[in-house]
Amino acid sequence: MHENEPRRASALLGLFAFLAALFLLTGGGHVYSGDGHTIYQTTRAMVERGELAIDPGDYVYGARGPEGKFYGKFGIGQSVAAIPFYLAAKGAAAAMKSLGSEALARKSESDLCLPVTYTLNQFVTAAAVAVFCAILLALGFSLRGALLSGLALGLSTTLWPYAKYFLSEPLLMLCLLLAFLAALRHCRGGGALSAAAAGLFLGCACLVKISGIVALPVFLIYLAQRAGKGRRARAAVLFCLPVAAALGVFLYLNYIRFGGPFETGYAREGGLFSTAILEGVRGQLLSPGKSVFLFSPLLAAAVLLLFTAARRFFPETLFCALLFLAFLFFHGAYHAWQGGYCWGPRYLVAVVPFAFFPVALGIERAAAARGFISGVLRALLLPLFFLGLAVQLLGVLANYHDYDSIFLKEVEPGFTGSSWDLMSWSFERSHLAANAYLLRDGSFDLWFVHFWREGIPPAILLATVLLLVLALLLGARAVRSGLAGAPPVAATAKASDV
């Protein structure tokens, strides 16, 4: 017997509040990469000037269009999603300017707006975890199992560090999860609206990052398996129409920015897919400095639990496996298969929740009842969880972008090779080792530390921290209430019979 809907909703909202508050507390409040800053400057251009063109000299990546204007080369989705955050930041910036602080007076409006706008991914990542839990509940998991899985996903995988960065992977992940939840509901008796909603969310994913299009055949395979006879063709059409509309928007934006529908701003660089695909796949899976298992250790358990998950949830497990493989092989051929200068294998972040699905099944069984199998699962999962938690703390407490300027300069003086290759193929020179070194040196990457050093009034910082701690405690209380119910011996035959 499932918990009632209000209790589920309250627990999921609490999980969202807990994770969002935690992610906000551990944010950095500054620029991490040219990719993210390009997306931010595009948001700013849309709000301030009503156009997409940006300043080419402000740590941005893009290309010039036919009329000579410079445009960011990234998807428009995240820039649009950030508009409400930028508008809120403008109001907050005006209020902060009136406080009379010299440190605040020295900052430009753009500098004041940036930290608030950058919080988008903290909310997006927390929402993605809540949607993942909703998917588990729709599949028959207990509320306890879903919440524990959500906590493990949010705290022990690369989702936590990537909530700090203003990159497009978290929003792409959220769109993919929403699309899958809608497709799942359609296949379980939902109407035409759910199939169209699945297509709409996948279309949004493509506008966030065009690589999301590799998920299209995976969704169609799932709908063909699960939609039922007589509904498959209709479901496919309803699903594909919003995706086609989104692709039309994508092509039109390419045309107005770069002069042609298939001109993305990337092709001018040349050699985009120049890596031997097996080398890129090996790097993302097994390299000593960028392996997905190194940065999200719980995913190692997913390999062990894959066949158990397939036996109980074959269509869903196949979907998750195919989606992970689609991203793995597509980006394996990319010239920067690791995602460039980043924490872990960046391009796999969007599909980490899908790779995590078999782990969630193991958590459900481990939490459901006592017994030999449950004990074995706990002995397997708990050490991996705490190892993953330690890895994520390295990611959130130190700035990976200090790799060249501090770490490499001090441990490899005179190094003239490619730092990308060095950090990818040497554990001793990986970002994990670098961030551990930075933390020993006292280089903490937390927004309130940075702002305190810049002279921002301590009262403002303290009040903000206390509000976030209060939100975290209230969220934790709601999650604890959701976990407090007596765990069922077998939540469902499918979810617990491992």
Q: What range does the domain containing 362 cover?
A: 5-29+119-396
Rounded CA-CA distance 93/90 in Å is 5
Q: Residues 369, 423: one domain?
A: no
Class of residue 232 by CB neighbours under 10 A (exposed 0-12, middle 13-18, buried 19+)? middle
DSSP letter, residue 183: H
Q: Residues 126, 237: one domain?
A: yes
- Tokens representing 53 are 């063109």
- Which residue reads 């040497």 in tokens? 426
Q: Residues 231, 107: one domain?
A: no
Q: Residues 273, 349: one domain?
A: yes
Q: Residue 5 to residues 2, 12, 26, 54: CA-CA distances in angstroms?
A: 9, 10, 32, 46
Q: Residues 388, 405: one domain?
A: no
- 203 falls within a domain: yes
Say how far residue 103 (Cα) sits from the centre of its chain.
33
Q: Residues 392, 256: one domain?
A: yes
Which neighbouring-strand residues pair with 72? 62
Q: Residues 174, 318: one domain?
A: yes
Q: Residues 78, 165: one domain?
A: no
> Residue 177's CB: how many other CB atoms inside 10 A?
24
- Torsional sign, CA 32, 34, 36, 38: positive
Q: Residues 193, 104: one domain?
A: no
Contact (CB, 8 A) for 134 and 181: yes
- 474 falls within a domain: no
The last residue of one of the domains, among 369, 396, 423, is: 396
pLDDT at 403: 87
- 489 falls within a domain: no
How many structural domains are present in the chain?
3
pLDDT at 493: 39
Residue type, 14: G
- 3-state SS, residue 235: helix
- 464 falls within a domain: no
- 3-state SS, residue 83: helix
pLDDT at 41: 94
Q: Residues 410, 390: one domain?
A: no
- 495 falls within a domain: no
- 220 falls within a domain: yes
- Torsional sign, CA 308, 312, 314, 318: negative
- Which residue reads 């909603």 in tokens? 197
The last residue of one of the domains, among 362, 396, 430, is: 396
Per-residue pLDDT of the chain (498 residues; tens, 9 = 90+): 444 788 899 999 999 999 999 999 999 999 898 899 999 999 999 999 999 999 987 778 888 999 899 999 999 999 999 999 999 998 888 777 677 677 777 777 778 899 999 999 999 999 999 999 999 999 999 999 999 999 999 999 999 999 999 999 999 999 999 999 999 999 888 888 999 999 999 999 999 999 999 999 999 999 998 877 778 889 999 999 999 999 999 999 999 999 999 988 886 666 688 889 999 999 999 999 999 999 999 999 999 999 999 999 999 999 999 999 999 999 999 988 999 889 999 999 999 999 999 999 999 999 876 778 888 889 999 999 999 999 999 999 999 988 888 888 888 888 887 788 899 999 999 999 999 999 998 889 999 999 999 888 899 899 999 999 999 999 999 999 999 864 544 444 344 444
- Distant-in-sequence, close-in-space partners of 182: CB < 8 Å, separation ≥ 6: 190, 194, 195, 197, 198, 201
Query: Which helix (H) or strand (E) covers residue 72, if one does?
Result: strand 70-72
pLDDT at 497: 44
- Count, in order, helices (H) and strands (E) of the chain: 26, 2
Q: Residues 377, 336: one domain?
A: yes
DSSP letter, residue 214: G
- 450 falls within a domain: no
- Tokens representing 307 are 């066949």
- 89 falls within a domain: yes
Encode 139-166: b = buried (16+ Cβ within 10 Å), e = exposed: bbbbbbbbbbbbbbbbbbbbbbbbbbbb
Q: Residues 415, 356: one domain?
A: no
- Tokens representing 392 are 């994520």
Nearest CA to 301 out of 372, 365, 249 is that of 365
Nearest CA to 490 out of 373, 365, 376, 379 is that of 365
The last residue of one of the domains, among 64, 91, 117, is: 117
> Residue 195's CB: how many other CB atoms inside 10 A?
27
Which neighbouring-strand residues pair with 71? 53, 63
pLDDT at 191: 85
